[in-house]
């Protein structure tokens, strides 16, 4: 079954947006997410963060569920470690591997002071299509990883903000704009959350003109909600909504803390 009309791209973006947890003191934090399409479950994700002094480690798993599990069973693992900076969590090492049906991929990235010093992907994408936008050395300067990139220290701006993400293959900006606050309740959290609009801006490492990328680039109605993890003194995502022509992809925290 072919995924069309932006759904594949929305699932990829939601994976970027929610491969996160929380941190910023000697502590542990657990976060679980449910991913749905038009209210039907398609995946579940769990993340565990450990922080010692100013160093953090986040590990997570993603598994398909419901109809998607029947059509194409998908699973993935990811991990990142680094230091808590004033404005961002700065990774030193990021890795991700996944399998979807018969396809699999593994990515590893080493960062130093926000710059990429090594990146590998297995299997490599070869040959590259003619409309491929290549990643240059400039694209890999002052970037964040996709796992901890959306964890924002409490003293920094949540939105407006621009998050420069490099995931081992693609370079993109996630632009956040303020949309007020809303109440939110889940296991481990109840209170007001910060609502941001999202704009997806592809920069490099993608096929120019690809339908799902262009769909996400044009979208102006995506939202992401951030809750404050009081014991960690950071903001982290608890909800996202990405409209597609197959229905909205939503990601919601079923547990935030503990």
Please give the average per-residue pLDDT across 179-203, as a whole number: 96
pLDDT at 20: 42
Residue range 19-43, pLDDT digits in tens = 444 444 477 888 999 999 888 888 9
d(CA 95, CA 76): 11
pLDDT band of residue 15 (cuts 50, 70, 90) is low
Q: Tell me: the pLDDT tens digits for 54-108? A: 899 999 999 888 766 656 788 899 999 999 888 899 999 999 998 888 889 999 9
* Cβ burial 230-250 (10 Å sphere, 16+ → b, else e): eebbbbbbbbbbbbbeeebbb
Read off the pLDDT of residues 115-154 as tens digits, 9 standing for 90 and up: 999 999 999 988 889 999 999 999 999 999 999 999 999 9
The listed range with the strongest mean pLDDT (32-41, 198-207, 249-258) is 198-207
Pairing between β-strand 206-207 and β-strand 132-133 as defined by DSSP bridges:
antiparallel
Judge contact between 202 and 213, C-beta under 8 A.
Answer: yes
Nearest Cα to Cα of residue 226 among 151, 147, 148, 143: 151
Q: What proportion of the chain, given as a percentage, has pLDDT over 70?
A: 88
Residue 16: pLDDT band (50, 70, 90) is low
Which stretch, 30-44, 167-181, 236-250, has highest mean pLDDT?
A: 167-181
- The tens digit of pLDDT for each residue in 223-243 reads 999 999 887 788 999 999 999
Rounded CA-CA distance 240/233 in Å is: 21
Q: What is the largest CA-CA distance in the chain?
A: 50
SS (H, E, C) 188-231: CEEEEEEEEEEEEEEEECEECCCHHHHHHHHCCCEEEEEEEECC
């Amino acid at each position: 079954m072919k995924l069309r009309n932006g759904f594949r791209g929305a699932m990829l973006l939601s994976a970027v947006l929610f491969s996160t947890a929380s941190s910023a003191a000697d502590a542990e934090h657990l976060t679980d997410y449910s991913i749905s399409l038009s209210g039907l479950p398609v995946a579940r994700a769990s993340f565990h963060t450990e922080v010692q002094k100013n160093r953090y480690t986040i590990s997570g798993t993603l598994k398909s569920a419901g109809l998607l599990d029947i059509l194409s069973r998908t699973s993935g693992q990811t991990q990142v470690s680094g230091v808590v900076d004033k404005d961002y969590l700065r990774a030193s090492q990021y890795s991700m591997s996944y399998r979807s049906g018969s396809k699999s991929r593994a990515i590893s990235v080493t960062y130093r002071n926000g710059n990429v010093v090594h990146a590998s992907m297995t299997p490599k994408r070869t040959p590259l299509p003619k409309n491929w936008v290549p990643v240059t050395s400039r694209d890999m300067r002052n970037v964040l990883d996709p796992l901890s990139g959306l964890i924002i220290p409490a003293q920094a701006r949540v939105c407006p903000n621009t998050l420069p993400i490099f995931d081992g293959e693609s370079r993109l900006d996630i632009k956040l704009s303020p949309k007020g606050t809303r109440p939110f309740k889940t296991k481990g959290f109840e209170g007001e959350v910060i609502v941001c609009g999202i704009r997806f801006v592809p920069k490099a490492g993608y096929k120019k003109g690809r339908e799902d990328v262009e769909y996400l680039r044009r979208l102006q109605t995506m939202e992401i909600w951030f809750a404050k993890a009081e014991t960690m003194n950071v903001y982290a995502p608890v909800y996202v909504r990405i409209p597609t022509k197959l229905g909205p992809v939503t990601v919601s925290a079923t547990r935030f803390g503990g």
